């Protein structure tokens, strides 16, 4: 090799695009490949949805403040969230782990307790996996499979101009939870005798350590016969996800800051760190809420659901992607929305 | 936690049994769960087979002598081998990688070249995955999906007394290939100026670095309307795999050393290391051949296939699992057959 291109010059999404740009699907059953929350595979009319995540200690989680049971639970839930984000119902998971000798059987039992708790809650079966030695750190690979009625799966690329932009639940909490736990870890490392001060922060910490996937929203869609025009889950922060839908659907959008749902607990907790709760929502990530678009004519179907907020609408691509702040200013949405807002 | 049980007291299979002992499948579509080459999922009469492997640098592969393109190819093939081992046809794969900053985009391109070469050869689609940072080492997680006609999947647990024990291709080559590469790595580290001496060892090294999955055998079964009574692929060595089939089917067996297929190149290469080629077959692993049992009445269907060897037969469980050596001695088969044979 004569050239060397650093991976960080492409970024994660650029790298995936680069590595998968020449794929030509060979099997008629491969309905949807790389580039959405999950792949879709046809089985003679019925459709299987498949999604996977690789979680690495020190990169995706810190065992200093993540109980193993919570980690097991979350490892499953984040994958199920991807399946729901396709408007599908998860049915099976496959779990592989890489473990070093520092783990005991009892520690793994705790991890699996969380895994099975998530399986039980979401009615999915653990049907396979692999167990490997790791030289360093704990490695978790989860693949989830789900079912969806023929052609009811919802992609990121099919939003239409004029559609309403919606989110489920509330945003930003997991990021503020992370700030608390990182602060307590630092204090603990410096002064092991100081007791952790996390009182009153149960909500934001719970959102980080034990997120739930929005099965209820998918059930609501089914009940109301409402098919979103596009959907994905919010794992990287609202800004980044909105840009995915806009880019994949070739549209612009307007997002209203005042419409972004933020819980009172999150707001109070963010102020303790002197950060803007909106910034946490836009760039924080790990909320595992759903971001979706619906036709304006479906708006009435949402009215009674307090778990869904309309936060903006889709525009022609030339208008770009913008957020209207509470003070009425207009800023471009960027994947680094946090910097923009704080300096704007 | 008051107790600490070391993982190595259970072993890999004991650990999996321990962690999955309480699983009760909840979904009617989960036809076969943990404990075989792959899981089987029903989709309204059609059946999907799913298998996964987690490969970790320094544990499963050594980049000092594994070209990245070969590694990409092999990562896919070893999973496809599990799908074929269910008598199914692979259709899709999902690939996640964990990479440290020491990898360049060009290095990843080489790895993916191998991945796509395998996809193309075996007519499977890469439909999804995840890309993560790794703090140390290259991590590869592959999940393969396949299709099988209703109830034609073949488990490990369904061999019958009197069935013939068969293997495809030849065994032991990959292990001898590994010995050569480990030797050359050691020499290189001690004296970087010495040129590697691998001439004439192309066969055994190729078997290690670029294995193939036995699609041809599955096609042969279909053509002959031959349904094996049990099957698995040989990734850990013949002894270990035979014991899996015996234990899961609750049977004994007799294996004839002289019937074990070993290539001439493997035999010659093994002698250079003064090791017994039979020991390489029994304990070497990574050959990715198929081990299966058939009813005696199907024996005639095998006659014209030179890629299949009958190596023994299944007995009642009380008779245990034994190998009859070339000299006529009878030894118990153990998962550490290598030690047994060399000391026997």
Q: Do A126 and B12 touch (CB under 8 A)?
A: no
> Mean pLDDT for each consecutive 10-residue tract of chain A (344 residues)?
76 80 80 81 80 93 94 97 95 92 90 95 92 91 90 92 98 95 89 77 94 97 96 94 96 98 96 94 95 97 93 97 96 68 35
In the A/B pair of chains, how many CB contacts fall below 8 A? 265
Both B326 and B210 in a single domain? yes
The CATH number of the domain holding residue B247 is 3.90.650.10
* B32, β-bridge pairs: B40
The answer to whether B131 contacts A16, with C-beta atoms less than 8 Å apart, is: yes
- Say yes or no: B185 and B36 in one domain: no
Exposed e or buried b per residue across A285-298, where buried means at least 16 C-beta atoms within 10 angstroms of its C-beta = bbbbbbbbbbbeeb
Of B97, B128, B135, the CB nearest to A58: B135
pLDDT at A341: 37
Q: State which of B118, B148, B178 marks the end of a domain.
A: B148
Q: Which of B23, B94, B124 sits opposite A39 (nearest CB)?
A: B94
In a domain, B325, yes or no: yes
B149 touches chain A (CB under 8 A): no
**Residue B153 forms part of a structural domain:** no
A135 to chain B, closest Cα gap in Å: 7
Question: Is B110 within 8 Å of chain A by CB?
Answer: yes
* A104 and A220 share one domain: no
pTM of the entire predicted model: 0.90
Mutate to test the interface with B, among A7, A13, A20, A30 (most CBs of B within 10 A): A7
Reported as a single tens digit per residue, the pLDDT across B59-87 is 999 999 999 999 999 999 999 999 999 99
Element (H, E) at B325: none
| A224 contacts A89 by C-beta, under 8 angstroms | no
Q: Fill in the DSSP letter of residue A194.
A: S
Residues A145/B143, Cβ–Cβ less than 8 Å:
no
Provide the ipTM.
0.88
B287: domain range? 164-343
Q: Which residue has the higher pLDDT, B344 or B201?
A: B201
Spatial distance between the Cα atoms of A311 and A280, rounded to a whole number of angstroms: 16
Q: Which residue of A14, A16, A19 to mutate against B (max B Cβ within 10 Å)?
A: A19
Cβ within 8 Å of residue A179, ≥6 positions away: A273, A275
**Cβ neighbours, 10 Å, residue B117:** 17
Distance (Å) from the alpha carbon of A94 to chain B's nearest alpha carbon = 8
Q: Among B39, B110, B127, select the one facing A94 at the smallest CB separation.
A: B39
Q: Which of B115, B148, B181 is the last residue of a domain?
A: B148
Residue A155 with chain B: CB contacts under 8 Å: none
* Residues A64, A66, A69: CA angle, nearest 5 degrees: 135
Q: From A16, which residue of chain B is nearest by alpha-carbon distance?
A: B131
Interface probe for B, chosen from A127, A132, A233 (most Cβ of B below 10 Å), is: A127
Nearest-by-Cβ selection for A92 from B30, B107, B133: B30
Co-location of A213 and A335 in the same domain? yes
Please check whether residue A38 lies inside any domain of the structure: yes
Could you say which of A148, A182, A202 is where a domain stops? A148
Whether the Cβ atoms of residue B145 and residue A40 lie closer than 8 Å to each other: no
Give CA–CA dist B129/B141, Å, rounded. 9
DSSP β-ladder status, B308-315 and B252-256: antiparallel
Provide the number of structural domains found in chain A: 2
CA–CA separation, B142 vs B129, rounded Å? Answer: 8
Give the CATH number, domain containing residue B136. 3.30.1330.10
A216 and A240 in a single domain? The answer is yes
Does residue B130 belong to the interface with chain A, where contact is any CB pair within 8 Å? yes
Burial class (CB in 10 A: 0-12, 13-18, 19+), B104: middle
Average pLDDT, chain B: 90
Query: A154 in a domain, yes or no?
Result: no
pLDDT, tens only, B157-185: 999 999 999 999 999 999 999 999 999 89
Contact of B40 with A146, CB cutoff 8 Å = no
Q: Are A120 and A226 contained in the same domain?
A: no
What is the distance between the alpha carbons of residues B319 and B246, in angstroms, rounded to a whole number?
Answer: 11
């Amino acid at each position: 090799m004569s050239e060397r291109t650093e991976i960080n010059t492409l970024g994660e999404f650029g790298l995936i695009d680069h590595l998968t740009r020449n794929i030509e699907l060979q099997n008629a059953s491969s309905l949807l490949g790389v580039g959405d929350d999950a792949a879709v595979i046809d089985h003679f009319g019925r459709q299987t949805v498949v999604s996977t995540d690789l979680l690495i200690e020190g990169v995706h989680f810190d065992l200093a403040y993540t109980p193993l049971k919570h980690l097991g639970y979350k490892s499953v839930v984040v994958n199920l969230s991807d399946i729901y984000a396709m408007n599908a119902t998860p049915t099976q998971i496959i779990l592989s782990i890489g473990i070093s000798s520092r783990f005991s059987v009892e520690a793994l039992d705790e991890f699996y307790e969380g895994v099975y708790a998530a399986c039980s809650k979401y009615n999915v079966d653990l049907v396979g996996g692999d167990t490997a030695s790791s030289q360093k750190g704990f490695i978790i690979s989860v693949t989830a499979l789900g079912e969806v009625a023929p052609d009811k799966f919802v992609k990121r690329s099919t939003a239409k101009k004029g559609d309403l932009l919606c989110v489920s639940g509330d945003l930003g909490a997991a990021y503020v939870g992370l700030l608390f736990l990182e602060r307590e870890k630092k204090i603990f490392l410096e002064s092991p005798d100081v007791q952790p001060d996390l009182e009153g922060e149960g909500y934001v910490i719970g959102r980080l350590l034990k997120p739930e996937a929005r099965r209820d929203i998918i059930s609501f869609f089914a009940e109301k016969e409402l098919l979103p025009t596009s959907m994905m889950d919010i794992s990287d922060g609202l800004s980044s996800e909105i840009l995915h839908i806009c880019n994949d659907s070739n549209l612009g959008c307007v997002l209203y800051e005042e419409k972004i749902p933020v819980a009172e607990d999150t707001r109070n907790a963010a102020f303790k760190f002197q950060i803007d709760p909106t910034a946490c929502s836009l760039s924080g990530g790990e909320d595992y809420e759903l971001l979706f678009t619906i036709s304006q004519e479906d708006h009435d179907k949402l009215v009674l659901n307090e778990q869904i907020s309309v936060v903006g609408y889709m525009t022609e691509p030339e208008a770009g992607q913008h957020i209207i702040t509470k003070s009425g200013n207009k800023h471009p949405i960027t994947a680094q929305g946090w910097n923009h807002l704080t300096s704007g």
